[in-house]
Amino acid sequence: MTAGSLPEVMTDEELAAAVARARSLIVRVGHAAGGQGAHFGPALSLVEVMTVLYGAVARNSAANPRDPERDRVILSKGHGSLALYAALHMRGYIDDAVLETAEKDGSKLPGQPIRNLDLGIEFSSGSLGMGLAFGVGLALSARLQGSPRRAFVVMGDGETNEGSVWEAAMSAAHFGLGNLVAIVDVNDLQSDGPTSDIMSFNHAAAWSGFGWDVVEVDGHDVTALRETLSREAGDRPRCVLARTVKGKGVSFMENAAEWHHGRMTEAQYDTARTDCPPGDDA
Q: How many domains does the chain have?
A: 1
Per residue in 138-155, pLDDT (tens digit) is 999 999 999 999 999 999
Q: Does residue 145 form part of some domain?
A: yes
Question: How much is the pLDDT for 192?
Answer: 85
Q: What is the pTM of this model?
A: 0.94
pLDDT above 70: residue 11: yes
Percent pLDDT > 70 in the chain is 96
Residue 117 falls inside a structural domain = yes
Flag whether 2 is in a domain: no
52 falls within a domain: yes
Q: What residues make up the domain containing 165? A: 12-281
Q: Give the pLDDT band (50/70/90) at residue 280.
A: low
Domain membership of residue 49 (yes or no) is: yes
Chain centre to alpha carbon of residue 262: 19
The CATH number of the domain holding residue 194 is 3.40.50.970
273 lies in some domain: yes
* Per-residue pLDDT reduced to its tens digit, 94-141: 999 999 999 998 999 999 999 999 999 999 998 899 999 999 999 999
Is the residue at 66 inside a domain? yes
At CB < 8 A and 24+ separation, what contacts does 59-68 make? 59/149, 59/150, 60/91, 60/120, 61/8, 62/3, 62/4, 62/91, 62/92, 62/93, 62/120, 63/92, 65/93, 65/117, 65/118, 65/119, 65/120, 66/117, 66/118, 68/147
- Whether residue 3 lies inside any domain: the answer is no
